[in-house]
Amino acid sequence: MKLTEAQIKDRLEDFPDWEYEDNAIHTSLEFENFREVFSTMTRIAFEAERLQHHPDWSNVYNELSITLTTHDHGGVTENDFELAAAIEDILNA
C-alpha cells in the first residue's frame, strides 16, 4: 500500500541521507573509485533480488544515485524502505 506523505517523512527520520521527491525516495553516494561503487552495486543487486524489489539507479565513475518507488502502487511503500534499510546495512558494513 502506498504510504502517505506524512508517513514517508516520519520514516525518513531513520534515513538521514535520503530525501522524498516526485513520489520516490532518493539518495546520492560518492565512493573512492569505480571498483568500489560497482562492488556496492553488486551487493545491492543481490539484496534487491532477494526482496524482489529493484532500484532505479545511475552510476557515473565513483557516483551512485538511487531512487526507490513502487511503480505498481504509484509511490513509496514499505518495500522501498525495506530496500533502503538493506542498502544502508551494505553501506555501513
pTM of the predicted model as reported, rounded to 2 decimal places: 0.95
CA dist 9 → 19, 85, 89 (Å): 9, 15, 20
d(CA 30, CA 65): 9
Beta carbons within 8 Å of 32's beta carbon, 6+ residues apart:
62
Summarised one tens digit per residue, pLDDT across range 52-85 is 999 999 999 999 999 999 999 999 999 999 999 9
d(CA 21, CA 68): 10
Domain count for the chain, please give it: 1
Q: Domain residues for 72?
A: 5-91
Do the Cβ atoms of 4 and 78 come closer than 8 Å?
Answer: no
- The enclosing domain of 54 has a CATH number of 3.30.1360.20
